[in-house]
């Protein structure tokens, strides 16, 4: 099966000059977790995902919970870091006006419409990504996601 047969063509694009706050609003409106970033000429310049946004939140982990398992000869210590919601809100506020181009991934793994889906699965797994822009002649014409591939398994 070819990528073009199952890719989504209703693609949300971010401009590299969009802010993180704008990206988050658009992600929420479309119920998606990432989008290709394009320049003003429509060329792919990066990819931004909710994971990229989380990685760039400046969080200070507030406390460590130390637990000692019972019934074990030698105690072990687990450190579970937590962050207060107020810290999360502050970190978001600090990041909100940052331009997408500052935190996007610039080296994007892409698919071509004629690629076989079997070729795409290892790219997604090996690169630990959930979606690939589908590019033809330098322009994004679609997106293929893990979900698109899983849904085709249900149909066949």
DSSP 5-35: HH-B-----EETTSBHHHHHHHHHHHT-SEE
Q: What is the percentage of the chain residues whose pLDDT exceeds 90?
A: 69
Distance CA 39, CA 104 (A): 13
Coil/strand/helix, residue 98: coil
- What would the two tokens of residue 109 be? 């793994």
Paired strand residues for 131: 145
Q: How high is the pLDDT of residue 47?
A: 97
The pLDDT, as a whole number, for residue 63 is 45
Query: Who wins on pLDDT, 113 or 154?
Result: 113
Topology of the domain covering 3-57+92-155: CBS-domain (3.10.580)
The answer to whether 111 and 144 are in contact (CB under 8 A) is yes
The structure tokens listed for 5 are: 């047969």
């Amino acid at each position: 099966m070819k990528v073009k047969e199952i890719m989504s063509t209703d693609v949300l694009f971010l401009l590299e000059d969009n802010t993180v706050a704008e990206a988050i609003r658009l992600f929420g409106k479309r119920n998606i977790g990432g989008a290709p970033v394009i320049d003003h000429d429509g060329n792919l310049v990066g990819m931004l995902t909710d994971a990229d946004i989380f990685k760039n939140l400046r969080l200070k982990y507030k406390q460590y919970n130390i637990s000692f398992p019972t019934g074990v000869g030698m105690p072990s210590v687990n450190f579970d870091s937590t962050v207060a919601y107020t810290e999360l809100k502050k970190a978001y506020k600090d990041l909100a006006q940052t331009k997408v181009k500052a935190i996007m991934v610039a080296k994007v793994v892409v698919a071509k419409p004629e690629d076989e889906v079997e070729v795409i699965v290892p790219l997604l797994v090996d690169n630990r990504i959930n979606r690939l822009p589908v590019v033809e002649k330098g322009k994004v014409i679609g997106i293929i996601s893990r979900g698109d591939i899983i849904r085709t398994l249900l149909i066949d």
